[in-house]
């Protein structure tokens, strides 16, 4: 059974640029959630995708957007990068029995470390 994988592991961008982060969900999972973890803090929820549709969003601006593909892999896109976007971005996958289920366990990938200069 393959776990959650993310690419790239590290990324350096400059302010104003755009970035795409990728996540492959664990085999058999249909839901992907993205989190931002700033240095020294707990992760913050960005959004969740269930069967290719956004299924909940945290308090992040519209320049944070995402996609989920038919194979349930996912992308996180961030436009107009700001210095405060520097963080570890974590992807988590889970298996939901139905859209509003809240008992699924989320399994995390190793993360992508984004540095914005």
Judged by the rule CB under 8 A, the positions of this chain that interact with another protein are 4, 31, 33, 35, 41-45, 48, 50, 55-56, 58, 90, 92, 96, 99-111
- Whichever of 41 and 77 has its CB closer to another protein, that residue is 41
Q: What is the closest distance, in whole angstroms, from the C-beta atom of residue 9 to another protein in the complex?
A: 10
- Whichever of 4 and 78 has its CB closer to another protein, that residue is 4
- Whichever of 45 and 73 has its CB closer to another protein, that residue is 45
Half-sphere exposure for 82 (CA within 13 Å, toward CB) = 6
Q: What is the closest distance, in whole angstroms, from the C-beta atom of residue 35 to another protein in the complex?
A: 7
* Terminal-to-terminal C-alpha distance of the chain: 38
- Whichever of 78 and 106 has its CB closer to another protein, that residue is 106
Rounded CA separation 66/78 (Å): 9
Q: Are 1 and 103 in contact (CB under 8 A)?
A: no
Could you tell me which residues come within 8 angstroms of residue 42 by beta carbon, excluding any fewer than 6 positions away?
none
Q: What is the DSSP letter of 10?
A: E
Q: What is the closest distance, in whole angstroms, from the C-beta atom of residue 41 to another protein in the complex?
A: 7
């Amino acid at each position: 059974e393959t776990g959650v994988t993310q690419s790239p592991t590290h990324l350096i961008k400059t302010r104003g640029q755009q970035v795409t982060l990728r996540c492959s969900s664990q085999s058999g999972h249909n839901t992907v959630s993205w989190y931002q973890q700033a240095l020294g803090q707990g992760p913050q929820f960005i959004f969740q995708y269930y069967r290719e549709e956004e299924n909940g969003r945290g308090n992040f601006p519209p320049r944070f957007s995402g996609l989920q593909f038919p194979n349930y892999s996912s992308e996180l896109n961030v436009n107009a990068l700001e210095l405060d976007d520097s963080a570890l971005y974590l992807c988590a996958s889970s298996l939901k029995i139905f859209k509003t289920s809240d008992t699924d366990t989320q399994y995390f990938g190793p993360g992508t470390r984004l540095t914005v200069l």
